[in-house]
Structure 1
Amino acid sequence: MVVGLATLGLIAMIAVVQRALYGQASEERFASIVGDSPIWLVLLAPAVGGLIVGGLIHLTKGQRYHGIADVMEACAVRGARMDVRSGASAAVAAAVSLGAGAPVGREGPAVHIGASICAWLAEKLGFSQSDSLTLLGCGAAAAVTASFNAPIAGVLFALEVIVGYYTIRVFAPIVVASAGSVMVRHTVLGDSTVFTLPVFSLNSLWELPLFAVLGIVSALFVLALIYAVGHIQTFWQRSRAPLWVRPAFAGLLLGAIATVFPHVLGSGFQAVDLSLNESLLPGFLALLLAWRFVGTSVALGSGFAGGVFTPAIVFGALLGALLWIGFAAVMPGLVSAHSVYAIVGMGALGSAMLGAPISTVLIVFELTGNYEVTIAVMLAAAMASAVMQLSPHTSFFRWQLARRGVNITSGRDQSLLRTETIEGVVKQECSFIASGDKIIDVERLLSRDRHRIAVLLDDDGNLLGSGNLRMFVAASIDHGFDAPAADVLHSPATAIAEHTNLVVALQQMADADMDYMPVVTATDGEEAPVFRGIVVRAGLLKAYYDVIRAARAEEFGVN
C-alpha cells in the first residue's frame, strides 16, 4: 500500500508540474492542452523542464536517472541493495520531465521508487538477500499495478523482469502487494482504465500470420529505437556539453516540434485513444509515429527521466494501426478492425521493449478481457521476443545495462556467490614452521602432516610466507635440501582477505595457480597481514556448490 500511495503521489506531482507550466493538467488530453497553448509557451515549457532536470543532475553531481534497469541490476548483481536517495531524486526528475511534456513513461520511475522504498525497509529490518529480493519484487508489482490498474500483470512483471524466477515463497508476498496497491488505486482514483477501448473481435484466425508479421516489425522498431538513443547519447558524450545543458536543449527541440505537431509531447495516451477509436489517415499516422520516435529518442538520449513501457504502448498502437491500413488494402474483407491491430501492436512492441512477453500479454488481456485478441497478442509477442533474442540486445533494459558494462546473464547465481564470503571455509589446516628451518626439515614435517601446507609467521602472528609440499620438493631440486625454507615461500601478497567472496577467491586462486591460499586480516599501518587460516580449492568449490544448490532449491520450492 505504501508503494501504491507513492506511485499515486508521483502521478499527483506530474499533474502539479503540468499545471505550473501549462496552466492546466490532464494526462489523457495533454496533446489538446499543448495545441491550445500559445506558441511561446509550447516552445519554452519543455525547455524549462529540461533546465530543471539538468539542474537536478548538476546538484546530484552528475548522477544519471535511475529506472527499471537499475532495479534489475540491484536484484541480479548487487544483492537487492539500493540507495533510497536515488529513488527520491529519480521521482522529482521524472515528475518534472513528464510534467514538462517529455514523451516518456511514468512506470519506470514508479518501479524504481517502489523498489527503493522496499530496499530501504529490507535494510532497516535486517532482511536476508533472498527476502530483500522478494520485497523488491513486491515494490515493483505494486508500482505497475498502481500505474496501469493491472494487478495480474504487475505480479507477472515482478516475477518475470525483476525477481527472475517463480516460487510460492516469492509469489505469495508479491500477490499481496499487488492486491494492496490496486485497493489504494481504486480508493483514490476509482476503477478507471488507462484507455477507452472499443468493442472488437477477430474476423478470422486466418489473420494470425499477419499478427506474426506485426510482431517481427515491432521488434525491428525497438531495435531502431535502441540504435537511435545510443547514437544520441554518444553524440552528447563526444560533444562534451555539460550534463545540465543536454535536457534543456532537448526540451527546446521538443517544443519546436510540438508547435507543429502537439502529439509529440506527453505520455501519448491521447494518440493511443485516437488509434484505437478512430480510423486515421495513413499520412497522419506515419507522421505521428515518426515524430514520436524522434521525440522519445531525443528525450531518452539527452537525460530526461522516464520509462520506456508507455512509449512502447504508444508506438505499438500507432504501428499496428498503420500496418492495418496496408493489410486492409491488400486483403480487404479479411482483416479485423484497425483497433484490433492497434491492441496487438501494443502487446508486441511492449514485449520487445521490456523483454517480458508474459507480462505484456497479461496487461493487454486485463485491458480487453478478450480471449481471441489475447491469442493474437501472444503470437505477436512471441515473434517479437524471438527476433529480440536473435539480436545483440534482448530488451531495452538489458541494452542499458550492457552499455554500462553490467552483465546480468548469470544473474542471481553470481549475486549470491558475490555476497557469500569465504569465512565459513577458513580452516587451521596447516603446519607452522620457524624462520631457521631448512627445506629438508619442512619436507619431512609435511610428509607426516595430512595438510601438506606450511606457514611462516612472525612473533605477532603476521604472515611472512607459505608453501605446500609440492613446492618444497621442487625447490629442493633447484636450491638443495639445506637451503633456507623461508627463501622459497610464496609472498604474503598471495594471501586473500577473510571477507573476500567466493567468486573473487576462486579467481585469485586460479590466477596464482595455487590449490590453497592463506587468509589474512590486514589493517592500515601494519607491516604484515595478520594470519587467520587457510582455504583450499576443494573447500571453496564445495561452498560454491552449496550456494547454487540452495538457490535452485528455493526456486523450485524445495526445503
Structure 2
Amino acid sequence: MNYRWKSALLTLIVRQRRSLRESEAAFIVLATIAGLAAGFLTNLQQFIAHSLQHLFYGVTINRLSALASIHHPWRLLALPTGGIVMVMIARLLRGRKRPPIDVVEANALHGGRIPFVDNLVICVQTIISNGAGASVGLEAAYAQMGGGIASVLGQWMKLRRNDLRTLVGAGAGAAVGAAFGAPLTGAFYAFEIVIGNYTPAAIAPVVAAALSAAFVTRELGVEPYLIATTANRELALPDYLAYAGLGIVCALIGVAIMRLVTAAEQHVQSWRRITGWRPLVGGLLLMPIAWFSPQSLSAGHGALHLDLLLRPPVAFLTAILLLKIAASVISLSFGFRGGLFFASLFLGSIVGQIFAGLIHATPLAFTLDTGDAALVGMAALSVSIVGGPMTLAILMLETTHDFALMGVVLTAALISSAFTRETFGYSFSTWRMHLRGASIRSPRDIGWTTSLTAGRMMRRDWVAVTEDMTVADFRARVPLGSASKAIMTDANGHYRGVVVTASAYRPDLEGGAPLEDLATLADVALNPATGINVMLQMFDTHAADELAVIDAEGKVVGVLTEKHARRRYFEEIEASQRALFGET
C-alpha cells in the first residue's frame, strides 16, 4: 500500500511538472511564487545587514553613511573584523574548484542553473561586507538570492532551458524591485541585465514576480525608496545638451572606475605576502577613509539623501567623490564582496551636483537645477557601470514620480550607455567575468555554444593510413571513390596529417612515391574541447573542409567536417531564435 501511495505521488509530481512546461498560466503562478520568495529574502537580508551595522556602529534609524562623524573611533574596527570573517570564509571555501556562479553568468553560460550553495556563499559574503561597513551594496546579494531561489524551483520542476532562464531573471528582478519598492524597475532589471532581451512570452511572468515581490515589501511595512524633486521646471534644448554632456562625463568616470578596480585587484593579487589576508588589510586601509568621511561607508543610501538635502559646496563633494571611489576600489580589490549598483547611484548623484555647480560658477547665464542634475547623474553613471538604460530611467521615475524629468534622464542614460559600449564594451559584472576568461559581453544566452565542442560533434569512423606507406599502398587501401580523405598516423597512432584521395591518384604520380609527401595540415588539428567559434575560424583560416580531432597525447580520436560543424551551429542559432519568440 505504501508503494502505491509513493507511486501515485510521483505520478502527480511528474504531471505537475509537465503542466508547468506546457501551460503559460502555470508558469506565471510559479514566477509569482518565486517573486514572493525573492521579496521576503530581500527584506530578510536587508534586516540582517542593518542589524550588523547596528551592532558594529550603533546606528538605529539613520543609514550608516548618513552619520556626520564617527564619535567612537574604536567602532571602525568593524572593518578589519569583517575582513577577518571574510578570510575565514575564504579558507573554508579553499577546496572549491571554481568561483560561485552569479545570476548573470548563470543565464549567459549555464542555462539558468545555479547551485544553491553558490547563492549562500555570495549572499553571506555580501551581507558581512556591507554590515561591516565596506563600500559595497547589497543589491548583488538581493539579485543572487532572488534568482537563485527561482533557479532551484525551476530545476526541481525540470523546466526547459529558456523557461529556466526567464524564471531566474524574474526572481533576480523581483528582488531588486523589492529592495527599492519599484516593481517596474525590477522587471526591466530582469530583462536588460539578467535575461538579456525582451520576449513577449516572458513579460507576464517577469512582471508577476516583480509585483509580488513589491507586495511583500509593502506588507512588511517597508517604505518605498523615494526622492523629492523640483515641482515645476521648463526644460529646453540647452538643458538637453548639457545633460547629454553629463552623460558623457558619467560614462568616462564609470569606465575609469571599472578599470581602476581591475588594475587595483590585479596589483593586490601580486602581493604574495598578504595572500589569504587581503580582506583584513583592506579593512585596515578603509578605517582612515571612513574616519575622515563616514559617507564612504556601506553603499551610500543615507549619504545620498543627506547631500541632496544639504547641497554642500563643490569642493566638499569632490572630496567625497574621490574618497568614495577609493573606498569602493579598496573594498572590491582586497576581497570584500558586493555590487556597485547603489554605490554608482550615489557617485552619480555627486557627479551631477558637481557638474551643476561648475556650470553655476561660469559667467554664462545658463544654469542647471542641482537636484535634477544629481538625479540625471545617478542614472547616467549607474548605466555605465551596471548597464540597463531603461532600468535606471524607470528607477528614477518610480523613486521621484516625476515624469517631466524623464526626457533628460533618458537622454543622459542612453548616451552614457552608448558611449560605454563603444569605448569599453562591458558592464561591471560582464567585465569581471571576461577577466576570468568568459567571453560574454551581455547576459544573452551563449551557453549553448559550450556544448558544441569538437569532441561532441566528431565522428569516430575514418580511414586511417600510416606514414610509412607508399602511394601504391594507399591506392590499394583506399580505392578511388570510397573516401575523399584519409588520416595519416605514425606507427603509434599519433597524428601526421590528412591525405586527399584525389592527390594520390594523379596520373603523373608513381606508385612507389612515399605517401607522407602528400600529407597536408600536419600541424593543424582540433582537440575534443575546442569550441564552435574557434573551430569555424580554423576551418576558414586553413581552407580545410575536414580536420582531425586529437587527444592530449596526439592520437587521433575522431574527425569533423566543416559542413557538419556549420549545420549544427545554424541549427542551434535557429533553436535560440525560436525560443526568443516563445516558440517550442
CA positional deviation for 1:347:
0.8
**Alignment partner of 1:349 is 2:384:** no
Letter in 2 for 1:21: F
Q: In 2 relative to 1, CA 172–255 (structure 1 residues): closer, same or farther, beyond 3 Å?
A: same
Report the counterpart of residue 401 of structure 2 in structure 1: 369
CA positional deviation for 1:96:
0.9
Within the candidate set 563, 566, 575, 1:538 is matched to 563
Letter in 1 for 2:305: D
Report the counterpart of residue 69 of structure 2 in structure 1: 35
Report the counterpart of residue 83 of structure 2 in structure 1: 50
Range 502-511 or range 230-239, more displaced:
502-511
**Alignment partner of 1:112 is 2:144:** yes
**Alignment partner of 1:21 is 2:56:** yes
Letter in 2 for 1:343: L
Distance 2:315 2:464 in 1: 84
Q: In 2 relative to 1, CA 249–545 (structure 1 residues): closer, same or farther, beyond 3 Å?
A: same
Report the counterpart of residue 545 of structure 2 in structure 1: 515
Report the counterpart of residue 151 of structure 1 in structure 2: 183
Percent identity over paired residues: 26
Q: In 2 relative to 1, CA 114–159 (structure 1 residues): closer, same or farther, beyond 3 Å?
A: same
Range 362-371 or range 180-189, more displaced:
180-189
Within the candidate set 298, 304, 312, 2:330 is matched to 298
Q: In 2 relative to 1, CA 31–513 (structure 1 residues): closer, same or farther, beyond 3 Å?
A: closer
**Alignment partner of 1:239 is 2:271:** yes
Range 355-364 or range 203-212, more displaced:
203-212
Distance 1:352 1:527 in 2: 46
Q: In 2 relative to 1, CA 126–327 (structure 1 residues): closer, same or farther, beyond 3 Å?
A: same
Distance 1:348 1:411 in 2: 20
Q: Is the 8 A contact 2:279 2:334 kept in 1?
A: yes
Question: 1:53-452 alignment to 2 at 5 Å?
Answer: 53-61=86-94, 70-190=102-222, 192-205=223-236, 206-330=238-362, 334-409=366-441, 412=444, 414-420=446-452, 443=475, 449=481, 452=484
CA positional deviation for 1:415:
2.4
Question: 1:454-493 alignment to 2 at 5 Å?
Answer: 470-471=500-501, 473-474=503-504, 480-481=510-511
Report the counterpart of residue 17 of structure 2 in structure 1: none
- Please give the root-mean-square deviation of Cα atoms over the aligned residues, in Å: 4.1
Q: Is the 8 A contact 2:296 2:324 kept in 1?
A: yes
Letter in 1 for 2:225: V
Distance 1:365 1:286 in 2: 27
Q: Is the 8 A contact 1:425 1:535 kept in 2?
A: yes
Q: Is the 8 A contact 1:264 1:292 kept in 2?
A: yes
Q: In 2 relative to 1, CA 64–105 (structure 1 residues): closer, same or farther, beyond 3 Å?
A: farther
Report the counterpart of residue 10 of structure 1 in structure 2: 45
Match of 2:311, SS state, is coil
Q: Is the 8 A contact 1:49 1:248 kept in 2?
A: yes
Q: Is the 8 A contact 2:146 2:174 kept in 1?
A: yes
CA positional deviation for 1:76:
2.5
Range 478-487 or range 295-304, more displaced:
478-487
Distance 1:299 1:93 in 2: 12
Distance 1:455 1:332 in 2: 77
Any stretches of 5+ residues in structure 2 without a counterpart?
1-35
Letter in 2 for 1:71: V
Letter in 2 for 1:291: L
Q: Deviations over 1:270-324 (max 9, x none)?
A: 2211232333233322222222122112112211111101011101111212222
Distance 1:17 1:105 in 2: 14
Letter in 2 for 1:408: I
Distance 2:259 2:382 in 1: 17
CA positional deviation for 1:551:
1.7
CA positional deviation for 1:502:
4.4
Give the alignment's TM-score, normalised by structure 1.
0.83
Q: In 2 relative to 1, CA 96–63 (structure 1 residues): closer, same or farther, beyond 3 Å?
A: farther
Q: Is the 8 A contact 2:255 2:424 kept in 1?
A: no
**Alignment partner of 1:553 is 2:584:** no
Distance 2:252 2:498 in 1: 58
Distance 1:289 1:519 in 2: 55
Match of 2:220, SS state, is helix
Any stretches of 5+ residues in structure 1 without a counterpart?
none
Q: Is the 8 A contact 2:248 2:415 kept in 1?
A: yes
Q: In 2 relative to 1, CA 544–450 (structure 1 residues): closer, same or farther, beyond 3 Å?
A: farther
